[in-house]
């Protein structure tokens, strides 16, 4: 299996909503257990794994204004929500036998290590999964942007974005049964077609640093393993132009 490994160091991006499972909010323990099981498959192959998880299942800063909360405060609340999710995921990963470290962009020393790039890389080299919490530590930046930034900083081979659909489509596959999926697509086409794979800042950062993004369905068993071992799963976003 090792000779087929395509990516040796990755940044796995998960949405906060993915932790809800069938619930309307919060965290479904079954989803935590499932994610831990899937991540263990690549951990056992000695893949170096960084993880960024969103906080939308608990609180979404962008919608805070509807509740009379200003954008900065709302985004800060969203950052704290990502730490809650990160702690839950860390607990599940360690129960499944993996070594982890939680690093936060906001200092909270009793809960997580402060984010220090060199320390994060050293943890990865020692075989520890590093979960990056609290986004970038600044308002106005999404967890997609945080994932892109951390991936560039730790010199990841790719961002692996787990979603609930099979890849990048020309329209929403959950609304259009005739939507067509791309096997590969360029950063420019993602932006020009407004496909919303990640936000503008995140895509631009990946483009500038030639960092591929693989979008795939995390809810299908073994898909993460297939991505790592070069299987034909999901959509690769890169520089190559595709019609």
CB neighbours of residue 96 within 10 Å: 15
CB neighbours of residue 41 within 10 Å: 16
State percent of the chain over pLDDT 90.
Answer: 80
Residue 242: predicted pLDDT = 44
Q: Which domains does the chain have, with CATH numbers?
A: 2-238 (3.40.1160.10)
CA distance 196 to 203: 9
Look over the chain and give the mean of its residue pLDDT values, rounded to a whole number.
92
Q: Which of 117, 122, 187 is nearest to 152 (CA)?
A: 117
Residue 52: predicted pLDDT = 98
Mode of pairing for the β-strands spanning 100-104 and 9-14 = unpaired
For tokens 């040796």, name the residue. 8
Q: What is the pLDDT of residues 98-157, one digit of tens each?
A: 999 999 999 999 999 999 999 999 999 999 999 999 999 999 999 999 999 999 999 999
Q: What is the pLDDT of residues 30-85, one digit of tens each?
A: 999 999 999 999 999 999 999 999 999 998 755 666 678 888 999 999 999 999 99
3-state secondary structure of 59: coil
Give the pTM: 0.93
């Amino acid at each position: 299996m090792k000779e087929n490994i395509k990516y040796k160091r990755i940044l796995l991006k998960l949405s906060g909503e993915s932790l809800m499972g069938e619930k309307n909010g919060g965290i479904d323990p079954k989803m935590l257990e499932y994610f831990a099981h899937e991540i263990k498959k690549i951990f056992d192959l000695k893949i170096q794994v960084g993880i960024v998880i969103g906080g939308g299942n608990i609180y979404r800063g962008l919608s805070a204004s509807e509740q009379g909360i200003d954008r900065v405060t709302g985004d800060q609340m969203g950052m704290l929500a990502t730490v809650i999710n990160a702690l839950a995921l860390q607990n599940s990963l360690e129960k499944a036998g993996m070594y982890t470290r939680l690093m936060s962009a906001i200092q909270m020393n009793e809960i997580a290590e402060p984010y220090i790039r060199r320390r994060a890389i050293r943890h990865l080299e020692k075989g520890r999964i590093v979960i990056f919490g609290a986004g970038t530590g600044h308002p106005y930046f999404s967890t997609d942007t945080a994932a892109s930034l951390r991936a560039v900083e730790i010199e990841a081979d790719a961002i692996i974005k787990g979603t609930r659909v099979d890849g990048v489509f020309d329209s929403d596959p959950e609304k259009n049964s005739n939507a067509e999926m791309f096997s590969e697509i360029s950063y420019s086409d993602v932006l020009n077609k407004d496909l919303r794979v990640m936000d503008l800042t995140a895509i631009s950062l990946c483009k500038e640093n030639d960092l591929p993004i693989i979008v795939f369905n995390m809810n299908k068993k073994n898909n993460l393993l297939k991505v790592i071992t070069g299987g034909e799963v999901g959509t690769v976003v890169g520089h190559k132009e595709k019609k």
